[in-house]
Amino acid sequence: MSDKDDWSRPIGAQTALSSRYVVIRNLGSGASGRVVEVEDREEGCRRAVKIFHSRHVAGREFRALSKLSNAGADCGQYVRLHDKFIFRDYVCLVTDLLGESLFDFLEQNSFKPFPGSHVQNIAQQLFQNIAYIHSLNLTHADLKLENILLVNPAFRVQFFQHRVLSTDGVPYHVRGRRRELCDTQIRLVDFGMATFGDEYHHPEVTTPAFRAPEVVLHLGWSFPCDIWSIGCILFELCTGKPAFNPRSSIEHLVAMEHVLGRPIDSHLIEKAKQSSNLPDNLSRYIRGYMPIPPTAMSRVTKTEMLGHLIPNETMFDQLFLDLLQQIFVFDPNRRITAHEALRHPWVTGEGAYTCAKEQERTADSERNHILGVPTKQLSQGINTKPMSIQRKPPLIPHLHNRLPEGDINRILEIISLVLVSNYRRTSICYKNRKSFILRHRDRLRSHFNKQRDLPTLPQHLRRQIDNTLHTAHSAKRKIQTLQTLEGSAIMTTLLRSLVSNKVNLMPNHSIVIQEYIQSTPTLVDSVVESS
């Protein structure tokens, strides 16, 4: 490893880094160095050794980890520094051997979202750790999923139900399998960009997707930039997708305004105009001399706003959205701090923790009913730290409805398909389906809540309906497929209740729906016979 070519090659197994440490395998490499797993011959255990190709970055990380270790061994969930030595003129730091990163786990899980209680537990640890780091006048400045490692990556495969948006923006639930951690303990790593308050602050820190607006605008940064990064982390754990995925600084600013639904504060823009460190394109853009690039605008408009990406169905979701809105504040002086976040109801679990657990128990009961396995047998083993809070009744809205919210959305989707297929008589086309569904959802919910003994859709039929609704076929083709589904007579019965109770969503609606019902006589007959 005497030159750049040697640096690009992995270090072979059994290579002696010193008389004490012998390489077992390579764990990975990054911009600042390479990490290997070693055997500690003196301690008789395994450690991780980070080999830096930059003495400057190594010095930053060594100072930060030394400060954290000297301040108190049990004050935070960060990687511990055990030793320091030189290998072929490269600085090497010996730390704890941990599991994979949150990003690796998310990637291996096909970017399926984490359970709500797991995200909540990880958030507690992050805010506690960052609050302690900030109390030492230190900013991490590079928080991201790749720099958060799991202590124990053991997992189990579970069924789950996830809320997603259709191509028309209508929410519905899908079921599947995902990996769920048995232990959610984490450790922070990579303090190569960590900066004390009295040190030089490099203008560009943090990976772009987790970068705060004050960093993008070169306004100077401090503790609040870590809080913004935590918001991006929690969002990605909850949804499985990044909050912002920019390809340029201009696109990043436009995406922030689009996702958050409000413009950047004018006083921040005025302050940025006075900066001499801005790149030319960004400087011209904020001064109004350069329009938004069409490619950037095209990518941004395909993303949803924060209120649409985070479901708002339970108290747990509402409190989580409230926390994100306090994190994603453009002005760093008004952004929530780590200590304030630790007192937020979603983080403490007041009201939200009970809802999250109730949601998981409800999903477990449904899953166990399908598998024929006792609930207690499958639900054991979650090693998340319980919170001492007052138990409250579940606040999940759809448990109190006569008909689940997802089924109401499916009915509206089918109605809109029928109306689209009769465009000449209804004037409903694909372009205004979304507004039609959003406008009439509350009216259908009110109608079905008043009904008694309504049939429920079996889970297999829900999956078949969802698959049919979101194919790339024409409206008539989808209707034909829906009419041939086994068990679709239940859906027909729900549609008949709308017609019989004269729930008119628009002119000619009842006539068109009645014709649809009459076109499926065998399904209607099956309902009559079963009743």
Catalytic residue among 5, 142, 190, 322: 142
Whether 142 is catalytic: yes
Residue pair 180/267 in contact (Cβ under 8 Å)? The answer is: no
The reply, when asked if residue 50 is annotated as ligand binding, is yes
How far apart CA 1 and CA 36 sit, in angstroms, is 14
Residue pair 277/218 in contact (Cβ under 8 Å)? The answer is: yes
Q: Which residues pair with 196 in a beta bridge?
A: 138
Read off φ and ψ for residue 80, nearest 5 degrees: -95, 140
Q: Angle CA(236)–CA(161)–CA(413) in degrees, nearest 5? A: 100
How far apart CA 140 and CA 151 sit, in angstroms, is 20
Classify the C-alpha dihedral 395-397-401-405 as positive or negative: negative
CA separation (Å) from 334 to 140, 227, 233, 343, 366? 20, 12, 20, 16, 43
Residue pair 306/259 in contact (Cβ under 8 Å)? The answer is: yes
Q: Which two tokens stand for residue 48?
A: 């991780």
Residue bearing tokens 């991780």 = 48
How far apart CA 322 and CA 316 sit, in angstroms, is 10
Strand, helix or coil for residue 454 = coil
Residue pair 206/143 in contact (Cβ under 8 Å)? The answer is: yes
Residue pair 482/494 in contact (Cβ under 8 Å)? The answer is: no
User: Helix-strand-coil percent breakdown of the chain, rounded to 5?
Assistant: 50, 15, 35
How far apart CA 32 and CA 30 sit, in angstroms, is 6
Binding-site sequence positions for ATP: 50
Which residue ranges make up the annotated binding site? 50
Cite the active site residues: 142
